[in-house]
Structure 1
Amino acid sequence: MLTFAKRHLWLASSVLGLTLAAPAIGSNPLDFGLLIDGKPIRTADPSAHVWPDGRLYLYTSHDEECQADFHMKDWHVFSTNDLVNWTAHGAALSVDDLSWADDYAWAPDAAYKNGKYYLVFPAGTGVKDRQNPEKSTKWMGIGIAESDSPTGPFTDVIDAPLWREPYANDPALFIDDDGKAYLYFHGIDFDYYVVEMADDMRSIRGDFKKMDMGGYEPKMEGPWVFKRNNLYYFTMPERNRVLTYYTATSPTGPWTYQGEFMAQEHQSNNHHSIVEYQGQWLLFYHRWLDSNNTACSKRQRHTAAEYLYFNDDGTIKPVVRTSQGLSKSTSE
């Protein structure tokens, strides 16, 4: 039987081609039980958080079925309290809600502060010409939206990006124990910078700070920062594919490179997040997989998850992709 939330979502969205399917057992890729035009929703770039209500929430980008490029229009929210059964809360924000962007609803993140929930997201305008880059007009910036609920809807209260230069996407928000909020991102010729958010989370405070990465700064995207046992971790898809990380004793560095913890797959990009839930660390990421229920003969992106373990010295143990995902035993 559908929960009240699922019945409500089904009634509200069925006219748009969205339906809810019966949830499956926990396995990879994750089955969120949401169908769009009869096919499972294609999600990527999962941002995982545990909020005061004790549930785990995932904020994802949404690939349109068989999309030719990354022309994406909205961000979705899913939640669980057992890592097996997921509630699909629908789209929390769309580029249709923005005045300053109309495309490229890419990797989001979220935060809780001041009694409100914040969705930080990239969006943009223009066209990217992959064959003739000099003809590209594409621009992307980072916005922030607010809600009283972790599932939205979120409102773009500043009605503008946080900044227009540098060109930026893939934001990651980290709020430290002292309440200070730090924003990390991928920028064109502007990687490994951080900026502090203002207390009201509606603007940035001060200038961008170039972090000390210990002399190693490979091409990257999709950073994710978390804290464990007073040690900060700056994780990222190195060269957009291999998950690697640095550690530091401060959220702004200096950082020490620690190496790889998940190998690449299919020569395709990977975005991820890391969170502790009910005493167990988890890695959420996306995979490019063939599917029997697809309308095209190409790999599409699917959100997946694995358990994450640490060595006694705080380093991350290598993670192997599995078909069982979070349904397998937590023992190593």
Structure 2
Amino acid sequence: MKIMCNKHVRQLSIFTLLSVALSVQANPLPLGEGLRTADPFARVWPDGKMYIYTSHDLECQKDFHMQDWMAFSSTDLKSWTNHGAILSLEDLSWADNYAWAPDAAYKNGKYYLVFPAGTGFKDRVNPENSTKWMSIGIAESNSPTGPFKDMIGKPLWTTPYANDPSIFIDDDSQAYLYFHGKGQDYNVIKMRDDMRGVEGDFIKMDMGGYEPKMEGPWIFKRGKYYYYTMPENNRVLTYYMATSPTGPWEYKGAFMEQEHQSNNHHSIVEYQGQWF
């Protein structure tokens, strides 16, 4: 199954992924009447629950206007607990806008929220006038539902412009941060062991010569293989496979075609012996 969101419809759904066949049976999640959530990343933590971390649109805004991040949890994928805002732009000293797609990780007995945020104005009519800037931050908590705290008080880097982070922790506890970046797609960087900074330089991955426009990558491991999945051209969900989290990757094609004339955002997790 796959947790996904359509950024215009603002509706999170569950789909079943069985082998290479996809049963497209929408199951809108009852997260709250009228609640505008988007960009979901799902995680399963040691307490046995599935958690979904989302961005959150405020009402009656001209554009995507997101000021905080939310978390939801479930034990049966039918009823969900709303844990409210777990981090807000008001908690950050370096950003005041663009509380977009988050992800989360568990390491060293702590929970980490990795998130994009930024400053400036996006001019959709005259893009040359835009001053928008975004980067990636990280916050930590003793609880999967926060409150999360920005312990370093700054982004993990200022250049390149980046959003849509996805964090993967390998079997040896090394954390890797993937993202969508301006001129830097298909890059990954290692996280420090304390998760409060990055280690070394960006690693440009070998994608086998195929690097289409993308956003919102998601990486997971199943057996001995690593899977790099993404909305290709921001729409169709496709994947690569490798035997290392940094590649080289082999392109395998689509596993879900576009459903709406808008962007896709997805994640894939194993829960109670089944993949979602």
Q: Is this a same-fold pair by TM over 0.5?
A: yes
- Please tell me whether residue 87 in structure 1 is matched to residue 46 in structure 2: no
- Equivalent residue letter for 1:249: T
Task: State the AA in 1 paired with 2:57.
Answer: D
Query: What are the residue-to-residue correspondences of 1:1-332 with 2, within 5 Å?
Result: 28-32=27-31, 34-35=32-33, 40-282=34-276
- SS of corresponding position for 2:128: helix
The secondary structure found in structure 2 opposite 1:59 is: strand
Larger Rg: 1
Give the counterpart letter for 2:197 in structure 1: S
Higher strand residue share: 2
Counterpart residue type for residue 278 of structure 1 = Q
Amino acid at match of 1:28: N
Amino acid of the residue matched to residue 59 of structure 1? Y
Counterpart-to-counterpart distance in 2, 1:221 and 1:138: 17
Question: How far did 1:66 drift?
Answer: 4.6
- Aligned position for 1:315: none
Whole-angstrom distance in 1 between the partners of 2:104 and 2:260:
29
SS in 1 for 2:134: strand
Counterpart-to-counterpart distance in 2, 1:67 and 1:215: 41
Residue 216 of structure 2: SS of its match in structure 1?
Answer: coil
1:262 positional shift: 1.1
The alpha carbon displacement at 1:27 in A equals 6.3
Change (3 A) 1:27 1:80: farther
RMSD over aligned CA atoms reads: 1.2
Unaligned runs of 5+ in 2: 1-24
What's the CA shift string for 1:61-103, capped at 9, x where partnerless? 1122353222211110000011111110001001111110011
CA distance in 2, matches of 1:129, 1:121: 22
Q: Which runs of 5+ in 1 are unaligned?
A: 1-25, 283-332
Corresponding residue SS for 1:96: helix
CA separation in 1, counterparts of 2:58 and 2:253?
33
Aligned to 1:271, the other structure's residue is in SS state strand
- Rounded to whole Å, the distance in 2 between the matches of 1:64 and 1:267 is 22
Question: Secondary structure at 2:171's aligned position in 1?
Answer: coil
Q: Name the structure 2 match of 1:330.
A: none
Runs of at least 4 residues off by over 2 Å = 64-68
C-alpha separation in 2, matches of 1:51 and 1:28? 22
Q: Identity of counterpart residues, as a percentage?
A: 74
Q: Counterpart amino acid of 2:63?
A: D
Deviations 1:227-248 (A, max 9, x none): 0011100000111111111000
Question: Which whole-Å CA distance do the structure 1 matches of 2:79 and 2:26 have between them?
Answer: 11
1:96-119, Cα deviation, whole Å (9 max, x unpaired) = 111100110110000000100000
Per-residue CA deviations over 1:232-291 (Å, capped at 9, x if unaligned) read 000001111111110000000000001111111222001000000000100xxxxxxxxx
